[in-house]
Amino acid sequence: MPAVRAILAMAMLVSAASAQAAGPADAMPVGPAPLYGVTIDAVDDVPAVVDALAHLPHRPTARVVFDEGMRASHYAAPVAAIRRVAYVMGELADSSTLKQYTPPELRERASAYLRTLGSQVDIWEIGNEVNGEWAGHPRDVVDKTLAAYDVIRQGGGRTALTLYYNEGCAEQPSHAMFGWVERNLPARLREGVDYVFISFYEDDCRIATPPWSAVFQRLGELFPHAALGFGEVGTRRAAGKPALIAHYYGLAVDHPRYVGGYFWWYFRQDMVPRSRPLWRDLDAAFRAQSAALTR
C-alpha cells in the first residue's frame, strides 16, 4: 500500500522534527504513527536507562511496568525522567499478577495512577496478555480490563490492550487468541481501544513463522479503529538475541494501521548501560524499523 507507507513516512518525519524543535515535552502523535518500543520492567538505575533511551535514533516509547503493591508516587520521579527522552506507556497490571486484583481494586489502582502520573504517561496499557491461561477466568479478566479501560477512557487517556499470540500453541484451545477475543471482549472495548498489541515469544510458542500481515488483517477486523503492533517480544537465549531483535524490528507488515512497537522485554537487562553490545543491535533495529514501515 504505497499511499499508506508514504503517510507513515511523513508521520515519522514530522515526529522527529517536532522532537528536535520543541523538546521533550512534545505530545505523542495521534493516530497510526510508528512506535519504537522498549520495556522497562523496573525503575533501577534511572540515569543509565535515560541515557540509553536518549541516544537511540528515534524517540522511543518506553513501557514502564508498574509493579503490584507499589503506590503511583513510587514512579513519579522515574517516569518524569524517562518522559523527557521517550514517550511512556504505563502497564497497570502485568498478566503474571492480574489474579491478585479484584475489579474494584484495579479500578482504584487505575484512578490513583492516572491522578498521579496522567501528565507523564502517553498510553495506558489497560490489559496485558489478557487471553493467557495464567491470567485467570475470562469473565474475571474482562471485568478487570473494563474497569481499567473505563477509568482511563473517562479520564481522557489513550488505552492499549495486549493480547498473547498463541494460535497453534495454546495450552487450552479456549484461550487461543482470536477465538478468545471474539467470545469474551465486548464491542465497546473492541471499538474504543486506541492500540491493540500482540505479545509473542518464540521460546514459548514453537510454531512455524505466522503470516503476520494476515494475522494483523484479522486483528484489524476485530478492532476496527485501533492502531496495531507487537506489544512484547524477547528471548531468554543470549545467543539468539541479536538475530531476534533484527528480525522483529525489521518486519514489514502490510496493514494501514500497523505501527510496529515490539517493546523488547529485556531492555533494562540487555541494553543498559548503552555500552552493552545489544544496545548497538537495538540502535540498528530502530533504523531498520523506520525503513520497513516506509517500504
Residue 124: give its domain's CATH number.
3.20.20.80
pLDDT single digits (tens) 156-179: 999 999 999 999 999 999 999 999
Selection from 34, 28, 160 nearest residue 87 by Cα: 28
pLDDT single digits (tens) 198-244: 999 999 999 999 999 999 999 999 999 999 999 999 999 999 999 99
Q: Which helix (H) or strand (E) covers residue 123, if one does?
A: strand 123-127
Band the pLDDT of 294: cuts 50, 70, 90: confident
Distance CA 169, CA 153 (A): 33
Domain extent for 260: 2-12+38-45+53-293
pLDDT at residue 3 is higher than 60: no
pLDDT at residue 8 is higher than 80: no
Question: Under 8 Å CB-to-CB from 109, ≥6 apart: which residues?
Answer: 92, 93, 101, 148
pLDDT at residue 14 is higher than 50: no
Q: Is residue 268 part of a domain?
A: yes
Peptide bond into 103 cis (omega under 30): no
Q: Is residue 31 part of a domain?
A: no
Given a contact cutoff of 8 angstroms between Cβ atoms, the answer to whether 215 and 223 are in contact is: no
Q: Is residue 28 part of a domain?
A: no
pLDDT single digits (tens) 240-262: 999 999 999 999 999 999 999 99
How many domains does the chain divide into? 1
Selection from 288, 205, 207 nearest residue 242 by Cα: 288
Q: Is residue 19 part of a domain?
A: no
Helix axes 277-293, 2-22, angle to 10 degrees: 130
244-279 burial, b for 16+ CB within 10 Å, e for fewer?
Answer: bbeebbbbebebebbbbbbbbbbbbebbbebeeebb
First-last CA distance in the chain: 9
To the nearest whole percent, how much of the chain has pLDDT over 90? 88
